[in-house]
Structure 1
Amino acid sequence: MLLNKLSIKHIIKKPRILNKYPAPLFLMIHGYGSNENDLFSFQKDIPENFFIISIQGCYSFGSDKYSWYDIDFSNKDRFINIYQAKKTIEKISFFIDEAIKEYQLNQSQVWLCGFSQGAILSYAIAFKKPEKVKKVIALSGYLEKKLLPKNMNSSYIDLKFFISHGKYDTICPINLVKKGINFLKNQKILSLQYKEYDSGHSLNSYNYQDIINWIKKNKSF
C-alpha cells in the first residue's frame, strides 16, 4: 500500500525479526520511468531484520512512470538536470530523517539501493549523510561529481559499496562508472565490490544473486 504520511510517497515492509536495537533502514530508489514497486521485488530475498522502504519519484510522466529529475538523452553534457537532482537529494535526505523518526529506526545504519537515477542519487546522498548511510548498492548508475557536497571533509571510512554494471549499457556508459570507482578509491573507501555483467541497462540473474549475497554478507545483525 502506497503511504502518503511523510514528505515522499512510499511503500514499506516491516522487519519480521526484531532485535533489541532499532532496525536498520533499507531505502530503495528506483530508476527513470519506473516506480516504487520495481526494486521492492527484492524484499522477498532481503534478510527480515531490515525495515524496507521503497520511495516514489518526484516527477510523473505517464501511468505509473516516475523520475527524480529530467534527463536529456540527446545531450550527454546535460544528461542530468543538475538543479532538479540537487533538490531531489535534499528531499530524499530529509525523508531519511523523517522515516528514522517516524518508524523508530537505527540512526546510523542506513542502506541505500538505487538503480540508474537511483544509483546516481545514492552516491550523492551517501557522501552528504555519512553519519547515517553506511552501505550503498549502486546498480547501473554512476557517480556524478557535480552532485556531491562542496566540502568533502567528513570521514567516509565506514562506507561500503556494491557497484554493478552491464558491459553493454548504452544509457549509462561503463567508462563513467569506472571514473567514479577511481574517485571512491581516492576518497579512501576501503570496502568496494565492483562487478560487470553480460547485460545492458538492466539486471540479470547473476547480478541479482550477487546483490543478495552481498547484503547477507555485510549485514551487522
Structure 2
Amino acid sequence: MLLKNQLSIKHIIKKPNNEKETALFLMIHGYGSNERDLFFLKKDLPENFFIISIQGIYSIGIDKYSWYDIDFSNEKKFINILQAQKTIEKISFFIDEAIQEYQLKENQVWLCGFSQGAILSYVLALKKPNKIKKVIALSGYLEKSLLPEKMNTNLYTDLEFFISHGKYDTVIPLNWTKRGLKFLKKKKILSLHYKEYESGHTLNSLNYQDLMNWIKEKHIYSE
C-alpha cells in the first residue's frame, strides 16, 4: 500500500491479478477519515478490480481529511455547496486521469462512498452516467442542490445502486436517505438495492455481508 502523488488527488491502489484492461473500483471516505478507511474492503472484493482509494482534499487534523466543510448544527447549510461542487469536479477529473494512467475500462467505473463519500458518489454518478455504472452509498444521502439543473433520465437506465443506512444514525438522518430514494425513482433509476440496518453511522457485519454479496452478483453479471 503506497500513497501515490503523481495524479491530481493522493491515493492508494491495489492492482488486479491480471494485467488486462479492468474496471476501476473507487473508494471515497467520509468526513474526518482518510484513504485507508474503506481500503479494508479489498480483501473480499473480486480480484480483477483495480482498486483506488482517494484521500480527502482538506486536512482537518492529524491523518484526518474531508472533501468539504460541514456545519453539523445547521441542517439547511449542512454542507459547503461551493467546496462540494469544486470537489465533485476534481474527483470527476481524477476518474478520467486514473482511467488513462492505469489503462482501465472507460465505462465500467464503480463508486463506493461512506457518509460524505456517499453524498459525492450519488452526484458523480448522475453527472457521469457514461462512465459510472455502479454506486455503493453507505450511510449517506442524495444532496439535490449539487445536481445539474437539467437531467436526461434516458442516460440513467444502466445505473445501479446499493444503498444502506443505519436505523439509529444520528449523523445523517434516515429520512434524508429516503428522500433521495424517491428522487431516484422519479428519475426512473429503478435498479436500487436499499436496506436499513440495526446500527448507527457505521457499517455493521450484516450490512457488510449484504454489500459483498451484491458486489459479487453484479460483478459476475457485468463481466
Fold shared, TM-score > 0.5 on shorter chain: yes
Distance (Å, rounded) in 2 between the aligned partners of 1:139 and 1:129: 20
Aligned to 1:61, what secondary structure does the other structure show? Answer: strand
Distance (Å, rounded) in 2 between the aligned partners of 1:203 and 1:151: 34
Per-residue deviation at 1:149?
1.5
Per-residue deviation at 1:112?
0.2
Q: Partner residue of 1:177?
A: 177
1:21-32 matches, within 5 Å, as: 22-32=21-31
TM-score (norm 2): 0.97
Q: Deviations over 1:151-190 (max 9, x none)?
A: 2125100000000000000110000100000011111112
Aligned to 2:8, what secondary structure does the other structure show? Answer: coil
Distance (Å, rounded) in 1 between the aligned partners of 2:181 and 2:161: 10
The alignment status of 1:12 with 2:18, answered yes or no, reads: no
Per-residue deviation at 1:61?
1.1
The alignment status of 1:209 with 2:170, answered yes or no, reads: no
Aligned to 1:170, what secondary structure does the other structure show? Answer: coil
Distance (Å, rounded) in 2 between the aligned partners of 1:12 and 1:149: 30
Aligned to 1:134, what secondary structure does the other structure show? Answer: strand
Distance (Å, rounded) in 2 between the aligned partners of 1:77 and 1:96: 30
Q: Partner residue of 2:197?
A: 197
Q: Partner residue of 2:98?
A: 99
Distance (Å, rounded) in 1 between the aligned partners of 2:147 and 2:32: 24
Identity of aligned residues (%): 73
Distance (Å, rounded) in 1 between the aligned partners of 2:185 and 2:196: 18
Letter in 2 for 1:129: K
Q: Partner residue of 2:70?
A: 71
Q: Partner residue of 1:131?
A: 130
Aligned to 1:163, what secondary structure does the other structure show? Answer: strand
The alignment status of 1:150 with 2:145, answered yes or no, reads: no
Q: Partner residue of 2:139?
A: 140
Q: Deviations over 1:58-106 (max 9, x none)?
A: 0001111000000001111101000000000000000000000000000
Letter in 1 for 2:167: K
Structure 1: segments with no counterpart, 5+ residues: none
Per-residue deviation at 1:18?
4.7
Per-residue deviation at 1:23?
0.3
TM-score (norm 1): 0.97
Distance (Å, rounded) in 2 between the aligned partners of 1:51 and 1:11: 11
The alignment status of 1:87 with 2:86, answered yes or no, reads: yes
Structure 2: segments with no counterpart, 5+ residues: none
